[in-house]
């Protein structure tokens, strides 16, 4: 599809913009009811699922969307994770893992695009990892001793998913780099 601004791409932009009130509420108004912040994070997570749904349902898959959707995930979830580390809600080592993974995947995707002309899309494991990270961030905002075990389980689960998704993207990167028959073209690889 040649149309650039679609419902799906608009939802990705909304997801990025929703970070602003969350950051403001967490940093400037720490006494605010965390359920408001939780609600905004959940709305952001829903836009992530809805943008892919609308793109497929209305045949609105665009090259911009293939880049904008995962970029919106990385910006929104990465920034929120950093804020939670600064607020000492999530451990710094975890944030380093999230940011390092995202930078490597994004850089690899840009390199593949530049050298092979292929726009890499998010795979299902990457989407589930983003969902797990969103859930961890949403639950992480609550300072409640009753959910410490839940936070710990989500932290471990999300860390494992970060590693597995990184391995899946690295494997795909290596396959594409070794593929001598993938001339620079506009073909797509992966799925939403």
Q: Which domains does the chain have, with CATH numbers?
A: 7-189 (1.20.120)
8-21 confidence digits (pLDDT tens): 999 999 999 999 99
| Confidence at residue 117, expressed as pLDDT on a 0 to 100 scale | 86
Any idea which residue has 């969350």 for tokens? 22
The structure tokens 């992966």 sit at 190
pLDDT for 118 equals 86
Mean pLDDT, all residues of the chain:
86
* % of the chain exceeding 70 in pLDDT: 93
- Rounded to two decimals, what is the model's pTM? 0.79
pLDDT at 142 over 90: no
Check residue 160 and give its pLDDT. 97
pLDDT at 183: 54
pLDDT the model gives residue 51: 87
């Amino acid at each position: 599809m040649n149309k650039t601004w679609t419902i799906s791409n608009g939802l990705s932009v909304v997801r990025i913009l929703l970070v602003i009130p969350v950051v403001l509420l967490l940093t400037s108004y720490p006494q605010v009811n965390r359920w408001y912040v939780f609600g905004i994070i959940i709305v952001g997570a829903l836009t992530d699922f809805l943008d892919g749904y609308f793109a497929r349902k209305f045949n609105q898959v665009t090259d911009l969307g293939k880049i904008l959707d995962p970029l919106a995930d990385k910006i929104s979830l990465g920034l929120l994770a950093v804020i939670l580390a600064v607020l000492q809600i999530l451990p710094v080592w975890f944030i380093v893992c999230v940011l390092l993974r995202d930078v490597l995947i994004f850089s690899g995707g840009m390199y593949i695009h530049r050298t092979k002309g292929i726009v890499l899309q998010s795979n299902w494991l990457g989407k589930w990892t983003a969902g797990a990270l969103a859930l961890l961030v949403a639950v992480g905002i609550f300072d409640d001793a009753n959910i410490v075990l839940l936070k710990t389980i989500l932290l471990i689960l999300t860390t494992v998913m970060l590693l597995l998704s990184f391995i899946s993207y690295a494997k795909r990167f290596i396959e594409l780099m070794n593929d001598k028959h993938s001339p620079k073209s506009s073909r797509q690889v992966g799925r939403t």
